[in-house]
Amino acid sequence: MTDLGHWDIVVVGGGLVGTATALGMARDGARVLVLDSSDTSFRASRGNFGLVWAQSKGAGNRDYATWTRTAVREWRALEAEIRELSGVETHYETGLGLHLCLGEDEFAKRAEMIGRVAAHQLPGDDVRMIRRDELLEIMPDVGPGVVGASMSSLDGACQSLALYRGLSIALQTAGARLVSNVQVSAIELQGDGYRIEAEGLRATAPKVLIAAGLATNRLAAPFGIPEIVRSQKGQILVTERARQILPAVTSGIRQTAEGTILIGDTKEETDEDRSTGQGMRQLAARAVRLLPEIGNLRVVRSWAALRVLTPDGNPVYDESPSHPGIFVATTHSGVTLAPAHRGPLAQWIMNGQRPPEFASFGAQRFAKTN
């Protein structure tokens, strides 16, 4: 077995949560080892829509609303840091985000949720509902069935694969080590720390962060962490390149810097991670109703990926109740929350600076009681 040595922390999982947190800890001077699984894994980090989105987060949880908006406001700083350390452009755009509503039922449901978000009265949050007449001033080409939208100036998007690549390069530039294509098989007590084994490799550290997506339940269970994640499939379509037809980022349709249009995303309660004809038809039909001009474009590819969701949709950031130094982190908002993982989450794990929002994000809220 190859000994990778002793580290300040080993991060199990090299997705968006693991890499952003590892970057923050490495920038703060920690010796960080990241162990990542196969490059062919159908992970959310490679299949997401790329939204940097606050307007719909935290309707039932003020801490989640605050945490999200803190992250969004730090996105420019993260973008600059990634550019500095990796040379990668994330193509972050912000200034106006819209969620389009087809029909009055959708509008009413969205308005109820947005009303609960707005009731938090968070500083600088301008999310509100607009009717079709106001929407047409922004997007004159929306379909006749679009009756209005929710709108926020905080929202935007990035190229998620560029973000992922940039974080992976940046954390290594900052001094961390990334080992890919290995699956962690064991995390065990050794002395006053832990031994981590993965396919013929071994490392030790006093702290371990489990940020392993859908593998988190299996790896965290021996340390008193209840089941905290489940899968949900999402599918995305990509069109050929087109002229600029989207003046704003919308939650279901967005145009990339290259001109292609992403159409997403389904919410399917299955762990089957392949695109299906039914899902693609559903996405295409809705997209044309939202923006009829999309009907003139060819779809050039599609993909599916598995979201990593908690039972209540809010993040989990916690330390094992029985094994100090074992941490878990999971959220389905790895793009949006990357700056918060790079900053406050990393600082909590390494230095004990616990953000006040974490009172709502403990794993034990999902513990089964007899």
> Which tokens hold the place of 163?
């973000």
Provide the pairing of β-strand 128-131 with 146-152: antiparallel
- 370, burial (CB in 10 Å: exposed 0-12, middle 13-18, buried 19+): exposed
- Hey, what domains does the chain have and what are their CATH numbers? 2-72+160-228+312-366 (3.50.50.60), 96-153 (no CATH), 230-309 (3.30.9.10)
- Please give the single-letter amino acid code of residue 208: V
Quick one: residue 155, left, alpha or beta (phi over 0 = left, psi -120 to 50 = alpha)? beta
Whose CA is closest to 66, among 340, 370, 254, 347? Answer: 340
> Which tokens hold the place of 97?
């985000």
Phi then psi for 221, rounded to 5 degrees? -55, -40
pLDDT tens, the chain, 370 aa long: 899 999 999 999 999 999 999 999 999 999 999 999 876 665 666 678 899 999 999 999 999 999 999 999 999 999 999 999 999 999 999 989 999 999 999 999 999 999 999 999 999 899 999 999 999 999 999 999 999 999 999 999 999 999 999 999 999 999 999 999 999 999 999 988 999 999 999 999 999 999 999 999 999 999 999 999 998 888 899 999 999 999 999 999 999 888 999 998 788 887 777 778 888 889 999 999 999 999 999 999 988 888 899 999 999 999 999 999 999 999 999 999 999 999 999 999 999 989 999 999 999 999 975 4
User: pTM above the 0.85 mark?
Assistant: yes
Question: From CA 203, how far away is CA 188, in angstroms rounded?
Answer: 11
Q: Which pLDDT score, from 0 to 100, does residue 101 have? A: 97
Bridge partner list, 254: 262
Q: Which pLDDT score, from 0 to 100, does residue 1 have? A: 84
Q: Which pLDDT score, from 0 to 100, does residue 43 have? A: 64
Q: Which pLDDT score, from 0 to 100, does residue 44 have? A: 65
16 to 101, 108, 168, 351: CA distances (angstroms): 30, 34, 9, 21
